[in-house]
């Protein structure tokens, strides 16, 4: 072979000879979609690189376009650099921190003297458009670590200096476009002109590295897409998501609140929110009892020595709260598993007793950093529908499949689709390789036996065992993590849990940790956004509101309320001296499923003509008939689980 040539294998096109030093851009220029605005980056022997990368040895090359997952991430990361360049141009004293691509866009954190205003965002976006029009090339540079530290120190960028000081490698890479330089691994789009459709979507405060002890920075969010049509579609989605934001709806519907007087991350449930929670918890208790679970309750405080024995102190203590009583250290529980193991250990167990399924609606506390707290979705005190199943190893497959069936059935009632993901051993963990392998095989085997596809998430398991995570998809196709199934051979070993087998000898059980809804708070937040606050009738805190036209109907309206309430319907009376249209509008804003307007004709007929919240008007029916209709609707929606009278 010619010493001046290299052999390049092109994805789907075989091998081609090129001169040494050829750029990836030149290699891909003849490929389908490889025109000037086609590929934005490439993979060379599996590694992501810029199109400007030059090759001097044989390689396999695959072009990456902006319309796939990898390309979109590169496009968005490049957009964050362009945004940072715009900010520095408009606010020269701003100090730049980090600017990654995220699931639906990108953000960049800045240390500035005063918060960015909406007008500032408009100016920044306009400046970005100017930079895009200039088609500035992205150039990759490398320098020794110490030189890079001095380089960014000279530029007055302390956050970049801190980042580099945490690097282990001797060489640091950075990118420049025009007069802007940023620390980055890359790759990036060839030039700024490849950013064709972008939008800045908001600004928020964010602590440096998510730690409230660090400076508060200004985080600008944005998004980018390969074309304007995709951007337009996403912005419409964002508009709908904002309408469904559970924090706004929680206030509008009077469900819950937070108070600085109480403390960050602590939920205060108002009557309607507490009622929804009660319905969910009652539903959960019934479903667990149907499946052979035992309801248990454990203490909130457990001696720190127990948390050391379990491994939580070593691997999880930064997320725990501790206190001291009479000179004894206690940990406030972040999980419920320890008490459940102590219940199991309270007496000798036989193989005939297994499996044992312990269920607790257990309230736990976890120290989440202030920067990540987010309404009901991320709080410091929450209640989990926690259960632990102790079984023989040969019962694992059946028990795991039973939990999977439980999750699928419940999520079907709420109208969620789902995906399954298996998370494997993290770097920080306990237990033997053999036990981790057995646990992982058990989870995979159960999913395979049920014919359920799953993806792998390497290194994201719990510190004591691998897990199945169930990712829900809501009405807007967003993914939420709620249900999880964890397989644990290690904690039963640490707590010396045993059972007497058929052979008369002691054996070690396996423990499955699992939640169905997960944190009740988080699940309620997801439900509010999934339904847009318009809860199905079986879950609505108020199922119907009776409205009078004038005071002349008040006596009949009160009797009507009493009758349907006694039948189990959750009903309110609106007897205010307001116009009827105003009352109807308010009930619609409160998203109450049914409105029962009482006028002289209804009084004369002794019945009501229910009006649904979508405006549909039903025929006249007696109060008892209305209650029967609500009962039927609730039972159909919950597959016979919940009718009237759950509260």
188 as an active site residue: the answer is no
The Cα 387–Cα 357 span in angstroms is 7
Tell me the CA distances in angstroms from 390 to 191, 340, 509, one per residue in order.
58, 10, 6
Which are the contacts of 346, defined by CB distance < 8 A and separation ≥ 6?
none
The catalytic residue among 337, 391, 482, 487 is 337
The Cα 361–Cα 286 span in angstroms is 12
The catalytic residue among 384, 486, 553, 590 is 384
Q: Which of 287, 312, 413 is nearest to 365 (CA)?
A: 312
Exposure pattern of 584-607 as b/e (b: 16+ CB <10 Å)?
A: bebbeebbbbbbbbbbeebbeeeb
Q: Which of 366, 264, 370 is nearest to 316 (CA)?
A: 366
Q: How many C-beta neighbours within 10 Å does residue 177 have?
A: 22
Exposure pattern of 533-564 as b/e (b: 16+ CB <10 Å)?
A: bbbbbbbbbbbbbbbbbeeebeebbeebbebb
Place of tokens 């109907």: 553
The crossing angle, in degrees rounded to 10, of helices 623-637 and 554-566 is 40
The catalytic residue among 244, 513, 583, 613 is 513
> Residue 483: exposed, middle, or buried by beta-carbon count in 10 A (0-12, 13-18, 19+)?
buried
The catalytic residue among 182, 386, 435, 574 is 386
Tell me the CA distances in angstroms from 160 to 87, 107, 166, one per residue in order.
16, 16, 10
The Cα 114–Cα 374 span in angstroms is 23
The catalytic residue among 76, 191, 366, 530 is 366
Q: Which of 514, 508, 520, 399 is nearest to 467 (CA)?
A: 514
139 as an active site residue: the answer is no
366 as an active site residue: the answer is yes
Which two tokens mark 599? Answer: 């006028």
**Secondary structure of 241-304 as H, E, C letters:** HHHHCHHHHHHHCCCEECCCCCCCCCCEECHHHHHHHHHHHHHHHHHHHHCCCEECCCCCEEEH
135 as an active site residue: the answer is no
386 as an active site residue: the answer is yes
**Secondary structure of 165-186 as H, E, C letters:** HCCCCCEEEEEEECCEEEECCC
The Cα 165–Cα 153 span in angstroms is 11
218 as an active site residue: the answer is no
Q: How many C-beta neighbours within 10 Å does residue 47 have?
A: 10
The Cα 68–Cα 574 span in angstroms is 54
Q: Which of 603, 526, 498, 518 is nearest to 559 (CA)?
A: 603
Q: Find the farthest-apart pair of alpha carbons in the chain and give their distance in angstroms, rounded.
A: 102
617 as an active site residue: the answer is no
61 neighbors 11 (Cβ within 8 angstroms): yes
The crossing angle, in degrees rounded to 10, of helices 520-531 and 228-244 is 120
- What is the chain's length? 647
Q: Which of 219, 549, 270 is nearest to 372 (CA)?
A: 219
Q: Helix, strand, coil shares of the chain as percentages rounded to 5?
A: 40, 30, 35
> Residue 9: exposed, middle, or buried by beta-carbon count in 10 A (0-12, 13-18, 19+)?
middle
The catalytic residue among 88, 199, 388, 570 is 388
Place of tokens 């008490």: 339
Which residue numbers are catalytic?
337, 366, 384, 386, 388, 467, 513
């Amino acid at each position: 072979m010619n010493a001046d040539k290299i052999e390049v294998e092109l994805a789907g096109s075989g091998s081609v000879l090129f001169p040494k030093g050829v750029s990836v851009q030149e290699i891909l220029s003849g490929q389908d979609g490889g025109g000037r605005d086609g590929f934005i980056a490439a993979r060379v022997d599996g590694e992501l690189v810029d199109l400007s990368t030059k090759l001097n040895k044989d390689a396999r090359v695959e072009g990456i376009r902006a319309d796939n997952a990898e390309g979109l991430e590169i496009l968005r990361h490049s957009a964050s650099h362009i945004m940072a360049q715009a900010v520095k141009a408009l606010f020269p004293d701003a100090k730049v921190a980090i600017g990654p691509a995220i699931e639906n866009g990108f953000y960049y954190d800045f240390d500035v003297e005063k918060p960015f205003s909406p007008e500032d965002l408009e100016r920044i976006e306009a400046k970005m458009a100017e930079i895009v029009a200039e088609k500035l090339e992205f150039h990759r540079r490398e320098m020794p670590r110490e030189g890079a530290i001095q380089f960014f120190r000279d530029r007055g960028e302390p956050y970049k200096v801190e980042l580099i000081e945490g690097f282990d490698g001797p060489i640091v890479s950075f990118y420049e476009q025009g007069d802007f330089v940023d620390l980055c691994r890359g790759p990036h789009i060839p030039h700024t002109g490849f950013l064709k459709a972008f939008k800045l979507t908001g600004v928020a405060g964010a602590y440096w590295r998510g730690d409230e002890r660090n400076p508060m920075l200004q985080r600008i969010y944005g998004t980018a897409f390969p074309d304007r049509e995709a951007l337009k579609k996403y912005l419409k989605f964002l508009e709908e998501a904002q309408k469904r934001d559970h924090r706004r709806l929680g206030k509008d519907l009077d469900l819950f609140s937070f108070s600085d007087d109480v403390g960050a991350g602590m939920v205060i449930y108002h009557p309607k929110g507490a009622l929804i929670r009660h319905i969910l918890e009652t539903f959960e208790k019934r479903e667990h009892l149907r499946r052979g679970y035992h309801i248990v309750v454990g203490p909130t405080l457990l001696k720190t020595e127990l948390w050391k024995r379990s491994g939580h102190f070593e691997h999880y203590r930064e997320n725990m709260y501790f206190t001291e009583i009479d000179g004894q250290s206690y940990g406030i529980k972040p999980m419920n598993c320890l008490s459940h193991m102590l219940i199991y250990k309270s007496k000798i167990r036989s193989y005939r007793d297994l499996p044992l399924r312990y269920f607790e609606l257990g309230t736990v506390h976890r120290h989440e950093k202030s920067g990540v707290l987010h309404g009901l979705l991320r709080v410091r005190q929450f209640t989990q529908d926690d259960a632990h199943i102790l079984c023989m190893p040969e019962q694992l497959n059946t028990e795991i499949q039973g939990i999977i069936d439980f999750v699928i059935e419940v999520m079907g009632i709420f109208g969620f689709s789902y995906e399954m993901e298996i998370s494997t051993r993290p770097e920080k963990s306990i237990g033997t390789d053999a036990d981790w392998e057995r646990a992982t095989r058990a989870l995979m085997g159960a999913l395979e036996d049920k014919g359920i596809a799953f993806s792998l998430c390497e290194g994201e398991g719990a510190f004591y065992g691998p897990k199945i995570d169930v990712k829900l998809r809501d009405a807007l196709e967003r993914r939420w993590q709620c249900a999880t199934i964890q397989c644990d051979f290690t904690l039963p070993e640490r707590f010396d849990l045993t059972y007497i087998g058929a052979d008369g000898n002691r054996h070690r059980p396996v423990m499955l940790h699992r939640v169905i809804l997960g944190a009740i708070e988080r699940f309620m937040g997801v439900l509010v956004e999934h339904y847009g606050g318009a809860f199905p009738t079986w879950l609505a805190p108020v199922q119907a509101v009776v409205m009078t036209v004038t005071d002349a109907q008040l006596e009949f309206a009160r009797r009507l309320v009493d009758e349907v309430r006694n039948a189990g319907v959750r009903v309110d009376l609106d007897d205010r001296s307001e116009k009827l249209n105003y009352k109807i509008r308010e009930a619609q804003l409160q998203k109450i499923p049914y409105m029962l307007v009482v006028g002289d004709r209804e009084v004369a007929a002794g019945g009501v003509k229910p009006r649904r919240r979508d405006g549909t008007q039903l025929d006249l029916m007696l109060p008892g008939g209305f209650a029967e209709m609500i009962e039927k609707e609730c039972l159909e929606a919950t597959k016979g689980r919940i009718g009237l009278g759950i509260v």
